[in-house]
Amino acid sequence: MTPLVIPIFIAHQGCPHRCIFCDQFTISGSAGSGGLSPSRLEVSRIIELWLDRPGRQRKSGVQVAFYGGSFTGLHRRRQEELLDAVQPYIREGRVDSVRISTRPDYIDPAVLSLLREYSVNIVELGIQSLDQEVLELSRRGHTAQQAEEAISLLRQKGFTVGAQVMCGLPGDTTAKAMQTAEKVAALTPDFVRIYPALVLRESGLESMFRRGTYRPLSLFRAVALCSRMKIVFDRHRIRVVRMGLQPSRELEEKVVAGPYHPAFGELVLSRHLFKQARKVLRRREPEQKLRLGIAAADESAFRGRNNGSMKKLAGLGLLNGVELVFDRKQQRGQLQTVTLSS
Ligand code: SF4
């Protein structure tokens, strides 16, 4: 079971940067979050509201997550104020973990001591790319080496580490995005999020896009690339917890161009399952009968939009003699094959 996550947005706070793709307010939204700059009282109020919601007993644990902005770039007093608001709930055992997100260059041993003191145990880093040229063209303001060192330091100090990576930024290529995935995976974060770059209104990318100096990935290419990146993380047994930005009305109003789809992750999963199935089924001996196990939660992704993947597999003659089993116990994103006879 997943924990109940109590989101508290501190959009763009603590961040003097303006990365070319960023419109932090749009990305994080602020509905029900206490606005852009929640006070200590507002943080408590948000936590109380979520803890009182029906159905929370069914979740495993409670996590307070400070989303958006660069938490450790905030003034130390402000960090303490926000974290202090969570402490009574931790002491009472009503909140189990605290998560923050930040930039790699805002991580050092002193910062991590403060986080530890306030029971922060999960840190998500915006890595985006480990290619120096892509970082520079995206005006990230930190180096690839800083990003690698930040992940290593967090791992050394025993934090749970999340890494956010992007593909399709200025200067990015398929090869560079795949190298980033390989390098990030080698640093063994606990989980990753993969986002294709979108052109958001009032972002630097919008000006480049309108001048014709930036072309975003098509939806097809973004799905294909994210699927390949996911395979790298799967191979290293690193959980991919999200692909594509969380859909929202605010985000949809801000997207000028780029591979936005409200069910982007589902499209990637669908392609991923289709390719796996095609590979397995092409390899079997002629006349061999097979049972293909698919997680029940993946059934619609496996079938594809309008049953498209099933039609393609059938069109290739690959479904003859195949029994499909949608299994509630099976792990998502993977297929299991059992030979029935030949
Ligand atoms: S560091 Fe993060 S919050 Fe700051 S501009 Fe870049 S993406 Fe936005």
pLDDT block averages, 10 residues each, the chain of length 342: 87 76 61 61 95 73 89 93 96 95 95 96 97 97 97 97 98 98 98 97 95 97 96 95 93 96 95 93 88 94 93 94 92 86 62
The amino acid at 261: H
The gap from C-alpha 302 to its chain's centroid, in whole angstroms, comes to: 21
pTM: 0.89
Separation of alpha carbons 190 and 235, rounded Å: 13
Residue owning the nearest CA to atom 6 of ligand 1: 19
First to last CA, the chain: 39
**Residue matched to tokens 């003699």:** 321
Mutation test residue for ligand 1: of 9, 13, 17, the one with most atoms within 8 Å of CB: 17
Identify the pLDDT of residue 56.
60
CA of 292 to the centre of ligand 1 (A): 44
Give strand pairing partners of 335.
294
**Residue matched to tokens 């080496």:** 145
Identify the pLDDT of residue 32.
38
CA of 163 to the centre of ligand 1 (A): 14
Separation of alpha carbons 213 and 200, rounded Å: 15
Does the beta carbon of 169 lie inside 6 Å of ligand 1?
no
Identify the pLDDT of residue 55.
66
What size, in residues, is the chain?
A: 342
| C-alpha to C-alpha distances, 328 to 294, 297, 298, 299, 339, nearest whole angstrom | 9, 7, 10, 10, 20
Q: Which atom of ligand 1 is nearest to the CA of 70?
A: 3
Identify the pLDDT of residue 331.
84
Identify the pLDDT of residue 265.
95
Identify the pLDDT of residue 57.
60
Could you tell me if 272 and 231 are in contact, meaning their C-beta atoms sit under 8 angstroms apart?
A: yes
Domain boundaries defined on the chain: 4-262, 281-341
Mutation test residue for ligand 1: of 9, 13, 24, 165, the one with most atoms within 8 Å of CB: 24
Identify the pLDDT of residue 12.
65
Q: Which atom of ligand 1 is nearest to the CA of 68?
A: 3
Identify the pLDDT of residue 14.
57
Residue owning the nearest CA to atom 2 of ligand 1: 69
Could you tell me if 273 and 231 are in contact, meaning their C-beta atoms sit under 8 angstroms apart?
A: no
CA of 175 to the centre of ligand 1 (A): 24
CA of 18 to the centre of ligand 1 (A): 6
The amino acid at 33: S
Q: Which of 231, 268, 245 is nearest to 164 (CA)?
A: 245
Separation of alpha carbons 171 and 241, rounded Å: 26
Q: Which atom of ligand 1 is nearest to the CA of 16?
A: 4
Q: Which atom of ligand 1 is nearest to the CA of 21?
A: 7
- CATH top-level class of 4-262: alpha beta
Does the beta carbon of 13 lie inside 6 Å of ligand 1?
no
Identify the pLDDT of residue 17.
86
Does the beta carbon of 104 lie inside 6 Å of ligand 1?
no
Does the beta carbon of 126 lie inside 6 Å of ligand 1?
yes
The CA dihedral of 41, 48, 27, 149, to the nearest 10 degrees, is: 80
Does the beta carbon of 69 lie inside 6 Å of ligand 1?
yes
Does the beta carbon of 162 lie inside 6 Å of ligand 1?
no
Extended beta strands in the chain, E state: 4-9, 62-67, 97-102, 120-128, 160-167, 191-196, 199-200, 239-243, 255-257, 289-295, 322-327, 335-341
CA of 13 to the centre of ligand 1 (A): 9
Identify the pLDDT of residue 36.
60
Residues 6+ apart with CB under 8 A from 80: 114, 118
Residue owning the nearest CA to atom 3 of ligand 1: 69
Identify the pLDDT of residue 339.
85
Residue owning the nearest CA to atom 8 of ligand 1: 22
